[in-house]
Chains A and B, each alone.
Chain A
Amino acid sequence: MAVRWRLDVRRRRTALGYATAVLGTGAAAAVLLLFRGRVDQVIVVLAFLMVVVTAAATGGFAPGLLATVLGFLAFDVLFIPPYRTLRVAERDAYVSLAAYLLVTIVVSTLVVAREQRRREAERREQQARTLYALSQSLVAPTRLDAALAGVARTVRELFHLAGCGIVLAEPPGPMRLAASDGTLSAEAFRLAEAVIAGSAGRPPQSPPGGPAPGRPLALPMQAAGLTAGALVILAGDAAPAPIGEAERRVLVTFANQAAVVVLQARQEQERARTEALEATDRLRTALLNSVSHELRTPIAAIKASAASLHDQEISWDDAQRQEFLDTIDQEADRLAHLVANLLDMSRIEAGAVSPQLVEAWLLEAAGRAVRRVWGGVEHRIDVDVPEALPPVLADPVRLDQVLTNLLDNARRYGGDGPVRLVGRTVDGMVELRVIDHGPGIPAAEQDRVFEQFYRVHRPGQRVEGTGLGLSICRGLIEAMHGKLWAETAPGGGAAFVVRLPRADGPA
């Protein structure tokens, strides 16, 4: 807005300068005529000089020159005898005329030069202010497209345009209209694409001149030798004048500033992507390390035991031989268990678990799991499950696997106290809590225990198991449209909560 206003003012001021030259000279002549013969010629010269200075200061050099010429004619014809003719009677009058011309030209030149400097400074300040307004629209929003939309809007408003758009080159992808404001023609896009294609790798070029109203203009957005895209504008039919060189300079500067922002945003995106990849990579490496550690350990024990039995140099006693054989047997079991778990895990991760959902009773399944976990060993289990607990929709085999795992954890880590089973219905789901009286799981780790190979480390306690159990349990329960999470029980122990959909409830 400000730039357009500035240009209008300049045009208006030129007109005003001419008016001053004509009317000022006329008025001065009219007034001076009243006192002709009674005023000194110096006063007359000074009066016309004042008109010249005013016209030059208002409208620039041309109005100043016009005032000079008009003043000269008026002076000569009206105030130097003989009157009403250019002819001059006295020789002194030549000197007066020459002095008048010299003084007016020198003064008006000085005035014009000063005025131009002042306007230049004003224009620079105005440009700086414009750029500042534009860069504010760039800096404020954090997301690139929002920033560019702000740019398009600001540019359109500042220059009274019909439309403004920003087309980004995103190799290897196609060019993309990242932001637009107002209306843009198909021709405008073609021009933008041509500018991007044409200016790739070349320094910014700025041929003078601007588009006619209704015609698009595209400027390359360049930074660091790269063309980020193009700023395309469509001058409005209603605009009072075409885009001039000053506006064009502002636009070029701004297009290049926008390019810097685009390139920075891209670098930022690239960095974020690299970071995400690195994080994934670290996770994968950690997982792979865990798997390889878990697989190698039992193999190492089996191999070491077998090699010991093989050793001809040593004659082992029967007890020792038996121990090696037991180790091989147990570690092979452990390996088999681990492999089964890994297979389960990869099935869950691949979404290849297809549970056979039928009516199942949580309490019944829990009873089977208790017998499996504790075998013949006496252990107190407190059951707090209503008789009428409705059945759930679950795969009985997978449900048994999950409950066995949860109860086995309660046996291992749950201390010597009784294990409590609490059942209830909630929100159309049936819930079973497995609560132990052990040290519990710190709140910060309650979700992490479901991560693969994550283990709660307790001082002085050996870590057992594969580190996959809970992760598999959650995967299986989720495959059965249920939920599994950990809490801290009121007494401080760990509570694992299983929720499954009711078999009789709404699907």
Chain B
Amino acid sequence: MTSRVLVVDDEPAIVRTVAANLRARGYEVVTAMTGEAALAAAELHQLDCVVLDLGLPGMHGLEVLRRLRTWTPVPVVILTAVDGERDKLAAFDLGTDDYVTKPFGMAELLARIRVAVRHGEQAKAGTRPHVVEAGQVRIDLDTGEVTREGRLVRLTPTEHRLLEVLAANAGRLCTHRLLLERVWGPGYGDESQYLRVYVANLRKKLDDPDAPKLLLTEPGMGYRLVTSETA
């Protein structure tokens, strides 16, 4: 099945180059140069991924993302020259799947698009992975069983819930807000000190607390679970 990607950027050179690379790898590509055109294209086409610039003339990329999210869970990869923490956080809070800063490595962008498309397919088919493997750690999302080097790891309910959210979004950045609201519930969005404590506990049980390899901190933004397939 051919995946269809919408590339949104006001720079023709970027659109041309990214589109050419995607087509060369068998993707079908739709392009748009403004936010309005992007929203129209998203309604018109069955999309598997959107590559979205933030600094668009007229409607800002974040607004495009917000409007997309009101009706579609299509995976979005932000591709932008803006690398301010605030914009990044806002994009993740609005539900982007990934964020790539210009200038970018083409290979990296293509890999991120690939992961995003796969996530989207799994979500669409309702076939989220049953098992997430990260290094020596194996998380069975169906039974809730977590093992490290084959041995069962005992987790508290909160630790378990946190790991579950991270594993369900394996490879993707989970912002503090997203984790807090999913694990502790709405209204806890600003209590990031809770997170620090529980992430530290999880690292003690599953990872090397001094040099984490599985549960990575994205400073000021959130955490990311690196799995065997997304590493």
Instruction: List chain A positions with a Cβ less than 8 A from chain B.
Output: 289, 292-293, 296-305, 307-308, 311, 314, 316, 320, 323-324, 327, 330-331, 457, 459-463
Contact = CB atoms under 8 A, between A and B. Distances in A.
Given A307-B107, A457-B57, A459-B58, A300 B102 contact: yes
A296 B106 contact: no
Contacts of B45: none
Interface string B13-41: 11011101100110000000110000000
A301 B79 CA distance: 12
A296 B10 contact: no
Interface in B30-61: 33-34, 55, 57-58
A301 B21 contact: no
Interface of B: 10-11, 13-14, 16-18, 20-21, 24-25, 33-34, 55, 57-58, 81-84, 102-107
B24 A299 contact: no
8 contacts: A292-B83, A296-B102, A299-B102, A300-B14, A300-B103, A303-B104, A305-B17, A324-B20
Nearest to B103: A300
Given A314-B24, A320-B20, A297 B33 contact: no
Given A293-B82, A305-B13, A320-B20, A299 B57 contact: no
Given A292-B83, A300-B102, A304-B21, 8 more contacts: A300-B11, A300-B14, A301-B13, A301-B17, A302-B103, A303-B103, A308-B20, A311-B107
B58 A457 contact: yes
A293 B103 contact: no
Contact of B106 (A307, A323, A461, A462): A307
Nearest to A328: B13
Contact of B103 (A296, A308, A311, A459): A296
7 interchain residue pairs of minimum CB distance: A300-B102, A301-B13, A296-B81, A300-B103, A307-B106, A304-B17, A293-B81
A69 to B, nearest CB: 84
Given A303-B103, A304-B17, A304-B106, A292 B57 contact: no
Contacts of A331: 13
B10 A308 contact: no
Contact of B14 (A289, A304, A311, A462): A304
A301 B84 CA distance: 20
Contacts of B24: 314, 316
Contacts of B16: 323, 327
B34 A460 contact: yes
A324 B25 CA distance: 17
B104 A301 contact: no
A299 B82 CA distance: 14
Nearest to B83: A292
Nearest to B79: A300
A40 B42 CA distance: 121
A292 B84 CA distance: 11
A302 B103 CA distance: 9
A320 B20 CA distance: 8
A344 B101 CA distance: 28
Given A301-B13, A303-B104, A307-B105, A462 B81 contact: no
B104 A304 contact: yes
B167 to A, nearest CB: 31
Contact of B17 (A292, A296, A327, A463): A327
Nearest to B25: A314
A324 B14 contact: no
B20 A462 contact: no
Contacts of A305: 13, 17
A293 B55 contact: yes
Contacts of B81: 292-293, 296-297, 300
Contacts of A304: 14, 17-18, 21, 103-104, 106
Contacts of A299: 102-103
A323 B10 CA distance: 18
Contacts of B11: 297, 300-301
Contacts of B55: 293
A302 to B, nearest CB: 8
B102 A308 contact: no
Nearest to A331: B13
A3 B34 CA distance: 77
Nearest to A460: B34
A298 B83 CA distance: 16
A340 B133 CA distance: 52
A269 B151 CA distance: 65
B13 A327 contact: yes
B20 A297 contact: no
A301 B20 CA distance: 12
Given A289-B82, A296-B102, A300-B102, A463 B57 contact: yes
Contacts of B25: 314
Contact of B57 (A296, A308, A461): A461
Which of A300, A303, A457, A463 has the largest count of B CB atoms less than 10 A from its CB?
A300
